[in-house]
Amino acid sequence: MTVTDIRPSSGAMSQVLEVDTRSQILETAERLFRQIGYTKTTVADIAKALKMSPANVYRFFDSKRAIVETVARGLMSEVEEAAAAIARKPLPAAERLRELMTTVHLMNTERFVGDEKLHEMVYVAMTEKWDVCHAHINGVVSLIGGIISDGAASGEFQVHDVRIAAGCACFAMARFFNPVLIAQMEDHREPTIAQMVDFVLAGLGYRAPAASRT
C-alpha cells in the first residue's frame, strides 16, 4: 500500500479543517469573553485574534449570538458530563445524589461566579431564558431523576412519581445550582449545601440501606 492509498481524501481533509477552525473560533471567543467581557467582544475582535476576516467567522456562525450560545452550551455540557459520571458510579443512590448536587454547585460557583466577565454572559443567558439553559436544566433534571429512580427501586427513597420528585429536588436546589442565584446569595451562610441536600433527601423519604444501619 502506498502513502497515497492511506492519505485522506480532500473532502475528509476539508471537514477536519472546518472542525478545527470552528473549535478555534469558540476557544478564542471564550478567552475574549473572559478577558474583556461578552458584551464588549465583537465578531471583529474574534476574527482579528485569529488573523482572519469577520466574513470567515460568519462562514461558521451566522451571528455573535450563535457563538455565545455555543460557548455557553460547551461550558454547561462540561458540568453535565461531570454529573453524568457521578450518576454512573456503583454507589448507593443517596451518595450519588449528594455528590452530584455538590459537584454541580461547586463547578457553577468556581467557573461562572468566580469569573465576573463570564458570569455576565451566564446572567444574560439565564434571564433571557436561552434554549441552551433549558437544555442544560433538562439534562441535570434527567440525571437526578435517574438516581431517584434507582433509589426508589432499591428502597432508599420513598417516592410515587420520579418525574415530579426530580423536578422538586432541582427546584429546591436552585439557589445552589443557578449561577445568578449563587452570586446573589453568596453572603448568606445558611442553609449550607450539605444542609440543603439533607433536606432534599428527607423530602425523598430517604432510608439508609440495611447494611449502613447495622
Task: Please tell me the number of Cα atoms within 13 Å of 201 on its side-chain side.
Answer: 22
The H or E element spanning position 108 is helix 93-108
20-34, 66-80, 121-135, 140-154: lowest mean pLDDT where?
121-135
More confident residue, 95 or 109: 95
- Average confidence (pLDDT) over 112-140: 81
- Measured distance CA(102)–CA(170) in Å, rounded: 12
Q: pLDDT tens, 159-209?
A: 999 999 999 999 999 999 988 888 888 888 889 999 999 999 999 999 876
Does the domain spanning 1-62 belong to CATH 1.25.40.10?
no
Which pLDDT score, from 0 to 100, does residue 10 have? 52
Q: What is the dihedral of CA 126, 131, 75, 143, to 10 degrees?
A: 100
- Measured distance CA(126)–CA(144) in Å, rounded: 21
CATH 1.10.357.10 region(s) of the chain?
A: 64-213
Quote the cell numbers at residue 73: 452550551
Q: Is residue 149 packed enough to be buried (19+ CB in 10 Å), middle (13-18) or exposed (0-12)?
A: middle
CATH 1.10.10.60 region(s) of the chain?
A: 1-62
- Measured distance CA(98)–CA(200) in Å, rounded: 9
- Average confidence (pLDDT) over 146-155: 96
Domain 64-213 -> CATH class: mainly alpha
Phi-psi region of 205 (alpha: psi -120 to 50; beta: other; left: phi over 0): left
Quote the cell numbers at residue 44: 471583529
- Average confidence (pLDDT) over 103-118: 84
Q: Grid coordinates 460568519 are at which residue?
A: 58
DSSP string, 19-30: HHHHHHHHHHHH
Which residues, including other chains, have CB under 8 Å from residue 65's CB and lie 6 or more apart? Answer: none
Cβ 204 vs Cβ 158: under 8 Å: yes
Average pLDDT value over all residues in the chain: 87
